[in-house]
């Protein structure tokens, strides 16, 4: 999908961003970001994987030179966490080298002067064994191939664009435009009398539309380059989230039964504690995303409607 809507100008002129380029625009977050930008007068170039493969260095530079964006949001990613264990080189090509290609093209001046890059990353860069929320500047220690490749992308963005590179880590995403845990639970509620869900992993269920709003607010702000955590507040287990989905469907939440991570062996290790701190937002005068239950309630009608 390629979309073009009006809007010209650049951050170099001291104004707000007027032209955006979104890579990976066909993904779950990319779709919501393009939709959120569509409501503004800004120009949006939305490039799905078919239209721009971020592993193609020449194509990336050409796409930026063509649309001269003030902001690039890199939503392109290899997100198959388990497959990355056996295909780490391919995942690294997208998550590491792909991110570097985008950052390098901006650093080389292919985009508008002063162009910023917002690059999406993940809680999987952390070890996931903490007992308190991970701060933005805590030391990463990924335990999976996916986490290692995403960390490589973060490092490339920060090295190549120290003044204009924004790393936005998110986690436990659900949305109307891609496979996700909430959609799976809505389906399973219809299909099964009971569902077993792990109750020993903690995180922050996060709506893609909330992340899209955070990304836009960040790129429009005067916030300095660096790392920001775009997850809901509050903490839940997958079991808590599944029960909340059943409640919102009007179903008996006791049909969700607690189980353990060990009962569901997966190729990639799952973090037991994936809770991210949000201090960087308030330090730059922006509100973090609110409580996960409130967001789920707002998102729910659209999520149910999207399912067959
Ligand atoms: N989903 C989550 O729970 C979660 C959690 C933490 C962080 N994140 C991060 O959030 C961001 C957005 O994730 P998402 O959930 O929207 O993922 P998604 O739905 O898988 O979207 C990623 C998009 O990138 C595209 N893509 C893959 N390889 C590409 C390439 N070489 N060039 C250009 N595009 C390519 C994919 O296209 P195809 O579908 O055609 O392959 C897909 O449309 C990613 O950076 C991800 O790491 C996600």
pLDDT of residue 15: 54
pLDDT of residue 307: 72
Express each pLDDT in 211-244 by its tens digit.
999 999 999 999 999 999 999 999 999 999 999 9
Output the CA angle 277-35-120, nearest 5 degrees. Answer: 35
How far apart CA 181 and CA 174 sit, in angstroms, is: 7
Band of residue 3 on the pLDDT scale cut at 50, 70, 90: very low
Q: What pLDDT is attached to residue 7?
A: 34
What pairs with residue 226 in β-bridges? 166
- Residue 41's pLDDT band (boundaries 50, 70, 90)? confident
Residue 5 reports pLDDT greater than 70: no
| Given 124, 134, 146, 174, the catalytic residue | 146
d(CA 17, CA 33): 15
Q: Ligand 1 pocket, 22 CB below 6 A?
A: no
Per-residue pLDDT for 75 more than 70?
A: yes
Mean pLDDT over residues 53-66, rounded? 98
Pick the residue whose CA is nearest to atom 21 on ligand 1: 27
| Angle, helices 99-107/57-67, rounded to nearest 10 degrees | 50
Cβ 26 under 6 angstroms from ligand 1: yes
On the question of pLDDT at 17 being above 90, the answer is no
* For ligand 1, mutation pick of 52, 59, 76, 274 (most atoms within 8 Å of CB): 76
pLDDT of residue 305: 87
Q: Whose CA is nearest to atom 7 of ligand 1?
A: 122
pTM: 0.95
DSSP state of 42: S
Mutate to test the pocket of ligand 1, among 30, 34, 79 (most ligand atoms within 8 A of CB): 79
Let me know if 158 is exposed, middle or buried by CB neighbors in 10 A (0-12, 13-18, 19+).
middle
Lowest model confidence (mean pLDDT) among 11-25, 83-97, 115-129: 11-25
Write down the H helix ranges in 10-98. 28-38, 57-67, 81-86, 88-92
Closest C-alpha to ligand 1, atom 15: 28
Q: Are 207 and 172 in contact (CB under 8 A)?
A: no
- 53 Cα to the center of ligand 1, angstroms: 12
Share of the chain above pLDDT 70, in %: 94
Catalytic, 124? Answer no
């Amino acid at each position: 999908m390629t979309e073009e809507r009006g809007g010209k100008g650049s951050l170099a002129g001291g104004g707000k961003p007027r032209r955006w380029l979104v890579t990976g625009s066909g993904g779950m977050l990319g779709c919501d970001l393009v939709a959120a930008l569509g409501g503004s007068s800004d120009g949006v170039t939305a490039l799905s994987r078919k239209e721009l493969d971020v592993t193609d260095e020449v194509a990336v530079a050409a796409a930026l030179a063509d649309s001269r964006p003030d902001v690039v949001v890199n939503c392109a990613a290899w997100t198959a966490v388990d497959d990355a264990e056996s295909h780490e080189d391919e995942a690294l090509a997208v998550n590491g080298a792909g991110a570097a290609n985008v950052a390098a093209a901006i650093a080389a001046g292919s985009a508008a002067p002063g162009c910023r890059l917002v690059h999406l990353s993940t809680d999987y860069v952390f070890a996931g064994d903490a007992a308190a929320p991970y701060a933005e500047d805590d030391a990463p220690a990924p335990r999976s191939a996916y986490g290692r490749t995403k960390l490589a992308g973060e490092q490339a963005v920060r090295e190549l664009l120290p003044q204009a590179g924004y790393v936005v880590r998110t986690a436990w995403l659900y949305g109307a435009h891609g496979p996700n845990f909430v959609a799976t639970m809505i389906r399973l509620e219809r299909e099964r009398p009971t569902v077993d869900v792990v109750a020993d992993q903690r995180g922050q269920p996060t709506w893609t539309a909330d992340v899209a709003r955070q990304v836009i607010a960040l790129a429009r702000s005067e916030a300095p380059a660096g790392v920001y955590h775009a997850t809901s507040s509050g903490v839940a287990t997958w079991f808590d989230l599944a029960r909340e989905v059943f409640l919102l469907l009007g179903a008996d939440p006791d049909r969700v039964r607690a189980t353990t991570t060990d009962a569901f062996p997966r190729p990639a290790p799952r973090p037991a504690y994936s809770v991210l701190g949000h201090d960087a937002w308030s330090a730059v005068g922006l509100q973090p995303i609110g409580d996960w239950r409130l967001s789920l309630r707002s998102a729910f009608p659209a999520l149910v409607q999207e399912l067959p």
